[in-house]
Amino acid sequence: MISIIVPVYRSESTLRRCVESLTAQTYVEIEIILVIDGSPDGSGELAEELAAEDARIRVIYQENQGVSVARNTGIEAARGDYVLFVDSDDYVAETLCEKMWLAIAEYNADLAVCGFHHLYFGRDVVKVPEESLCIVRKEKEKILSLYEKQFLNMPWNKLFRREMITGRFRTDMDLGEDLLFNMSYLEGCKQIVTLAEPLVFYIQDDRGTTLSTKRRENRMENAFYLYEQMREYCERFYGERQTGGILESRLVEEFLDEMEGLAFASDLKFGEKRSVIRSYYTGYCRLENKNDIFVNLLDYKIIRFFFEKKCFFLTLCMVELRGLVVKAVWSWRRK
């Protein structure tokens, strides 16, 4: 049986779509655990309605303590042989459980990782591993490739063996705790299977109100902490901290992504945004191996060019221009 853990908070408008995508699974041996995290809206009542419609659904209530505590609560309550995490504002393909389970069974793997649809500002960006294959945990280049392409960061595109989950999501962090949980799990893995299929529909809210799009005051410090944790992981399992610039490049992308997000920070004035960018440069100077850093997206390359030259005014102008283009495209697609 697969235990599907769904943290629920302010999800009244999306919960039914999420749960119905789970009850429609072609793999029927599932239990759906809805953890109501002190939600102040009607999410709890809706969860009870959905549970009345399908006996495989269980509803658990807790005081509002955040998504990590909710996931940990779900792990403790899970009865299945496998665990799948789904966010309540996302939904999944009806074949998700079946294909992930079959992949693990075929290769006797400890973890399955699939691709996903990234739905953001009216766009559907499909992200999938390069190919479906089984990876031995000792294959450093392949593991780092999964990290580089952002398939290791999140828990919701993975199927875990419950008996191998020894760690829990850290509750003192609100960014990066997913990666730390996954890396802790990977320590016990021998084989990982990837599916080159997008089986999850990951939603980033157009209004910037979901957990993943909120501005985090401590985001860059968290990013540096995760960078150091990944370097330690590489040293512990591969005997060296150097990764050919992969870890540094991902950290720089965090900087660039945060800078691009300033275009949508309506609570900050232009001068305040420029000060934020200047503070990011101070952090950027802490990085080692800058010559190995590479970014692929054109907008990243343009913004990085001005940022590295300390032209913070022009950096912000490029950020704002990109933001205007994104908003215009989003508005046009909404019509």
Residue extents of the structural domains in the chain: 2-204, 215-334
Mean pLDDT lowest among 61-75, 188-202, 282-296: 282-296
Token pair, residue 149, equals: 């392409």
Q: Which residue has the higher pLDDT, 211 or 48?
A: 48
> What phi, psi does 155 have (nearest 5°)?
-95, -15
pTM over 0.75: yes
Helices (H), the chain: 15-23, 43-53, 67-77, 96-107, 140-148, 177-186, 219-238, 246-261, 270-284, 298-308, 312-334
pLDDT at 109: 97
pLDDT at 317: 96
Distance CA 27, CA 94 (A): 8
2-204 CATH? 3.90.550.10
Compute the half-sphere exposure of residue 122: CA atoms within 13 Å on the CB side of its CA. Answer: 11
Mean pLDDT lowest among 39-48, 128-137, 322-331: 322-331
Strand 2-8 versus strand 82-85 pairing type: parallel
Apex 154 CA angle, 174 and 276, nearest 5:
45
Residue 298 CA, chain-centre distance (Å), reads: 23
pLDDT tops 50 at residue 211 = no
Q: Which residue has the higher pLDDT, 65 or 207?
A: 65
pLDDT tens for 7-28 read 999 999 999 999 999 999 999 9
Compute the half-sphere exposure of residue 289: CA atoms within 13 Å on the CB side of its CA. Answer: 16
pLDDT tops 90 at residue 180 = yes
pLDDT at 214: 46
CA dihedral 43, 69, 55, 159 (to 10 degrees): 120
Strand 123-127 versus strand 111-120 pairing type: antiparallel
Q: Provide the pLDDT confidence category of residue 288 given band limits of 50, 70 and 90.
A: confident
With contact defined as beta carbons under 8 Å apart, do 87 and 34 qualify? no
